[in-house]
Amino acid sequence: MFYIIGPRGAGKTTIGKKFAESKGYQFVDTDKLILEKAGKSIAEIVEQHGWDYFRQLETDVLKSITQSDMIVSTGGGLVLAEENQQIMRNNGTVIYLNTNPEVLAKRLAAEPQADQRPSLTGKSLVEEIEEVMQQREPIYRATAHHIIDAAQPVDDIITQLNDLT
C-alpha cells in the first residue's frame, strides 16, 4: 500500500490515480470516502460539526482501508494526528509530494474548490498556505518514507515512484 501525503494542490489525487494505473492498483481518495460516508461536503461537515469531528472521520476512513494493492491519496491535514502517521508508516510506504507555497497557490487558484475545503485561517491563499506549511512541513517530512518534488511533470513523478518499488 502507498499513501500519498502533502498539502492541498500538491497533486495527490492526480499523481495517485496515475501511479495506481501504472501499478495496476486501486486508487482511493480519503476525502472522497469521507464525502460518501457523511453525505456532505467537507465544508458542510466542518460547519456543522467542527474540525475535530472531521479529523476523527479522517482517522476512521484511514483505518477502513486495508487492501494492500491500494494507492491512497490523503487529505492535507490527515497527518496531523499521530495515530494516522503510525497507521500509514506501519501499513505501507508514505510518499510526500513536496512543493513551494507559490506553486500550490497557483494550482489552487486555477482549480478552486471552496465548497470542498474551508479556509483554515481566513487569510489570503498564499498566506494561508505559507502558515499551514510552516506547521505541517516537519510532520510531512517525518511521516514520509520518500519525498518527491511535486513541481516536476507528472510523468517524471510517476517514473520516480515506479523506481521506488
Dihedral angle computed from the Cα positions of residues 152, 13, 137 and 2, in that order, rounded to the nearest 10 degrees: -100
Phi and psi (nearest 5°) for 120? -85, -25
Question: Is 106 marked as binding a ligand?
Answer: no
Kindly state the percentage of the chain with pLDDT values over 70: 92
Question: Is 30 marked as binding a ligand?
Answer: no
Q: How far apart are CA 64 and CA 93, in angstroms?
A: 17
pLDDT digits (tens, 9 = 90+) for 57-116: 999 999 999 999 999 999 999 999 999 999 999 999 999 999 887 777 777 777 655 444
Q: What is the mean pLDDT of residues 111-127?
A: 62
Q: Domains (ranges, CATH) in the chain?
A: 2-160 (3.40.50.300)
Question: Is 117 marked as binding a ligand?
Answer: yes
Q: How far apart are CA 120 and CA 134, in angstroms?
A: 13
Helices (H), the chain: 12-23, 30-38, 42-49, 51-64, 82-91, 101-110, 125-143, 154-164
Name, in order, each residue with C-beta under 8 angstroms of 126's C-beta and a sequence gap of 6 or more: 101, 102, 105
Question: Is 165 marked as binding a ligand?
Answer: no
pLDDT digits (tens, 9 = 90+) for 41-61: 888 999 999 999 999 999 999
Do the beta carbons of residue 76 and residue 8 sit within 8 Å? yes
Question: Is 76 marked as binding a ligand?
Answer: yes
Smallest CA-to-CA distance from 65 within 98, 25, 103 is with 25
Question: Is 9 marked as binding a ligand?
Answer: yes
Q: What angle do CA 26, 29, 33 make, to 5 degrees?
A: 110
Q: How far apart are CA 71 and CA 105, in angstroms?
A: 25
